[in-house]
Amino acid sequence: MAPLLQATPDGDRYELTSPTAMPKAGGFLWNQKMMIQVTCRGYATSQYMQPEPAKYAYAPALEAKTFMQPEQNYYAHHPGRFVYIKDEETSEIFSAPYEPVRRKLEEGDEFVFSAGKSDISWTIKSLGIRVEMSFHIPTNDVAELWSIKVTNVSGRDRKLSIYPYFPLGYMSWMNQEAEYNEKVGGIVGTCKTPYQKAEDYPKTKYLKDKTYFLCEEHPVAWESRQWAFEREGSLSNPEAINEEQLSNSDSRYETPTAVVQYRVALKADEKREYRFLFGPAYDDQEILDMKSKYLGKEQFAKTAKEYQDYIARGSGALKIETPDKGLDNFVNNWLPRQVYYHGDVNRLTTDPQTRNYLQDNMGMSFIKPEVARAAIVKAVSQQEKTGAMPDGILLAEGAELKYINQIPHTDHCVWLPIALEIYLNETGDYALLDVEVPGMHGDTYTVFERFSRAMDWLLSARDRRGLSYIAQGDWCDPMNMVGPKGVGVSGWLTVATAYALNLWAEVCEAAGQESVAEKYKIGAEEVNNCANKHFWDGDWYARGITDDNVTFGIKEDKEGRIWLNPQAWSILGGAASQDKISKMLTQVDEQLSTPYGVVMFAPPFTAMREDVGRVTQKYPGQGENGSVYNHAGAFYVWALYGIAQSDRAFKFLRQMIPGPSEEDYLQRGQLPVYIPNYYRGGYKLYPRTAGRSSQLFNTGTVSWVYRSLVEGLCGLKGVKDGLSVKPQLPKEWDEIKVTRLFRGAIFEVSVKRGDGNDVKVVVDGNAAEGGVIKGIQAGKTYRVEVEVPRE
């Protein structure tokens, strides 16, 4: 029997062989204009930018437009991409990939959902017919290129009808219709984006309000009205399919759909292939342009190649070969892809939160450092006159700060030196510091000056006790009621401020600005002293002190007793002494560790705590309320590598990736093609759902995980004048092989256990002094032999 889930030999696809075992599991594709997430059963959620997020396939209800939802709900009429197959002789039907008919797999049937890096495909065999569905997207346009192959594998002649079904949904309450358009050769749905205020009309006027489903081969019949397709049947057995031929319906302010019919006679082993183009457009001319550009065998091949190349440009700085094949595959194929996605498209928003923008781009330092550089410059160009960073970074003409970005958070400056450090590690490009950046508020400063101003702002935004104000939130968005009166402070932000100051001091030092460095070092020390005085609770650091002077995240609390972030960052920022660290690590192990990762805090809140805020109102173990929130876990992992807690670090890092056991996959319900923003926590409270994936691939986690792998696990970290080598293998490993791209050179690294007490680094036969490889020449390949101590 085929295993439930496995990677292909070259590891760039994951294949799932059951549609029912992990019903929400799926994959996603994106380009700079769109993204699409599909489930193994055929449901799809897609959106694109014009410039704000928009849809071209809609739910049947009038959907609220919000951020991407975690743990999406799918239901019978959810948008998807399906093909019905009818045996014309027996009238039996099934649908590929699985929905909407949900025909049970019988002996000899097949189901394979295959999530590739640049395409997603399925192979389904049922009723003696094999259906291969696959799609990819272009690199620079919004469209889906679908291929549907139907093969008669029954060994006898067959007569079939084939019905691709791409529901359009409830397009608009203003105006919607659909019909088969002979001029463009497919079904075209037309709607009008509603507006109410006259001044909003120009924003809607040129939106791509048409959705097309173009057929390379002319179908024999079609339906463009949802009701005409189902009638008194159901999606699992539509009446229109029970008839010989679809009715060629139009839709006039009725829910539109796109169904076409092909009728074929196939001899044994005979195959037919169909190609379709699905996407949004402004008018018929644009549809025709898209058709000639993309719809056809050659165009498909060309577009697929281009898109593969585009994805390949994000293949990252690291290849590993370890005893853990699942990890290797994830690190070599999928993690850099997810990092690239974040840095490449900024989560498809026009006003990413500053914190997200900087972290998403910090990962790009390993992939396309020039993108990270530009992002740092763009971010500081929007610095406020006070030195504070705004809540969001505006990317598009006419963009504005929306939703959460209208609510004051105080942590945004912290992320500047963090993103900068990685960029400088990778590139050594200290010249960036001297770049003059004209600001959007009319001032002009160098990058160096802007960073110093941001650090000064962090130092200033503290209370009389020296603790950092939280306002309506810090990194934890929904912690919105600790400090709305302007009094409450954040334990995490205080120790994070010290971390930022120290990082910046190190950069100043490396840039020869010793006196500036000294100032920030002293600042950091002072901040840490304040943190230790007010937040240390005996065995761990508290999370904050409210407007009403209540300290929380402490022993006395029944819920939200211990939070991961203050511990991780007190290590990073230097607040925590060795003694404090060992107490904290024990407490994290005991209170926060679960089989699915380390939770963000515990126990989760089961009721609103009004002096903490919305975070306590979320479902226990879900979202920010005490789940395995991987972003926080990733900070912790990075902190652990910094204090050589290699085994602990690896344990928590490995838990972020589903598998390798089938039991683990099933519980999480996700393929290992990305790290989700969270897995459900609440392990003690709700063991049935603990570990379940959010299915949401937008997360600041991935830059930190990638960094932890490159600079922590593999220990191949850039320094000003070279590459420092200091791997930290988990105790169960004896050796690994690593290929690292760095400053244009290739490092083939082999790490083995040795008998010494120190790390020994030999480069092309010569010992590298202090474990640092210097004088690196771009274009060259270095062979590096590393010996690490046994324990």
Please give the positions annotated as active site: 477
Supply the minimum distance, in Å, between the C-beta of residue 42 and its own copies.
Answer: 14
Q: Which is nearer to its own copies, 174 or 767 (CB)?
A: 174
Supply the minimum distance, in Å, between the C-beta of residue 359 and its own copies.
Answer: 21
Helix (H, G, I), strand (E, B) or coil at 373: helix
Helix (H, G, I), strand (E, B) or coil at 146: strand
User: What's the rounded Cα separation, in Å, for the pair 422 and 588?
Assistant: 27
Task: Print burial letters for 41-51: b (CB count within 10 Å at least 16), e (below 16).
Answer: bbbbbbbbbbb
DSSP track, 612-653: T-GGGGSPTTSTTTTSEEHHHHHHHHHHHHHTT-HHHHHHHH
Residues 384-413 binding its own copies (CB under 8 A) are: 403-404, 406-407
Supply the minimum distance, in Å, between the C-beta of residue 386 and its own copies.
Answer: 22
Supply the minimum distance, in Å, between the C-beta of residue 695 and its own copies.
Answer: 13
Taking CB under 8 A as the criterion, the residue among 156, 183, 197, 267 binding its own copies is 197
Q: For residues 703 and 709, is the Cβ–Cβ distance under 8 A?
A: no
Instruction: Examine residue 233 and tell whether it contacts its own copies (CB under 8 A).
Output: yes
Tokens of 288: 């025709």
**How many residues form the binding site for its own copies (CB under 8 A)?**
60
Taking CB under 8 A as the criterion, the residue among 10, 75, 757, 769 binding its own copies is 75
Supply the minimum distance, in Å, between the C-beta of residue 486 and its own copies.
Answer: 12
Supply the minimum distance, in Å, between the C-beta of residue 41 and its own copies.
Answer: 10
Residues 561-580 binding its own copies (CB under 8 A) are: none
Look-up of token digits 């001032």: 443
Taking CB under 8 A as the criterion, the residue among 484, 544, 712, 730 binding its own copies is 484
The residues facing 737 across adjacent strands are 321, 750
φ/ψ of residue 460, rounded to 5: -80, -25
Taking CB under 8 A as the criterion, the residue among 2, 6, 8, 76 binding its own copies is 76
User: What's the rounded Cα separation, in Å, for the pair 616 and 473?
Assistant: 13
Instruction: Examine residue 71 and tell whether it contacts its own copies (CB under 8 A).
Output: yes
CA angle 357, 360, 366 (to 5 degrees): 135
Supply the minimum distance, in Å, between the C-beta of residue 730 and its own copies.
Answer: 33
How many CA within 13 A on the CB side of residue 514? Answer: 0
Instruction: Examine residue 176 and tell whether it contacts its own copies (CB under 8 A).
Output: yes
Instruction: Examine residue 106 and tell whether it contacts its own copies (CB under 8 A).
Output: no
Residues 638-667 binding its own copies (CB under 8 A) are: none
Look-up of token digits 């006070």: 386
Helix axes 415-427, 447-460, angle to 10 degrees: 150
Taking CB under 8 A as the criterion, the residue among 195, 432, 583, 642 binding its own copies is 195
For the chain, the farthest-separated pair of C-alpha atoms sits apart, in whole angstroms, at 87
Helix axes 354-364, 415-427, angle to 10 degrees: 10
DSSP class of residue 60? Answer: S
Q: Which of these segments, 4-12, 605-613, 648-656, 772-780, binds its own copies (CB under 8 A)?
A: 605-613
Helix (H, G, I), strand (E, B) or coil at 569: helix
Supply the minimum distance, in Å, between the C-beta of residue 682 and its own copies.
Answer: 8
Q: Which is nearer to its own copies, 130 or 692 (CB)?
A: 692
Taking CB under 8 A as the criterion, the residue among 89, 104, 522, 764 binding its own copies is 104
Residues 621-640 binding its own copies (CB under 8 A) are: 622
Instruction: Examine residue 90 and tell whether it contacts its own copies (CB under 8 A).
Output: no
DSSP class of residue 603? Answer: S
Instruction: Examine residue 206 and tell whether it contacts its own copies (CB under 8 A).
Output: no
Instruction: Examine residue 684 and tell whether it contacts its own copies (CB under 8 A).
Output: no
Supply the minimum distance, in Å, between the C-beta of residue 688 and its own copies.
Answer: 7
CA quadruple 750, 755, 761, 762: dihedral sign: negative
Residues 245-284 binding its own copies (CB under 8 A) are: 252-255
User: What's the rounded Cα separation, in Å, for the pair 137 and 273?
Assistant: 18
Instruction: Examine residue 63 and tell whether it contacts its own copies (CB under 8 A).
Output: yes
Q: For residues 280 and 54, is the Cβ–Cβ distance under 8 A?
A: yes
Q: Which is nearer to its own copies, 232 or 791 (CB)?
A: 232
DSSP class of residue 199? Answer: G
Read off the amino acid at residue 358.
L
Q: Which is nearer to its own copies, 65 or 465 (CB)?
A: 65
Q: Is the bond into 603 cis (omega within 30 degrees of 0)?
A: yes
Q: Which is nearer to its own copies, 259 or 634 (CB)?
A: 259
Instruction: Examine residue 175 and tell whether it contacts its own copies (CB under 8 A).
Output: yes
Q: Which residues bind its own copies (CB under 8 A)?
A: 20, 59-66, 69-71, 73, 75-78, 102, 104, 170, 173-177, 192, 195-198, 201, 232-236, 252-255, 403-404, 406-407, 472, 480-481, 484, 608, 610, 613-614, 617-619, 622, 680, 686, 688-689
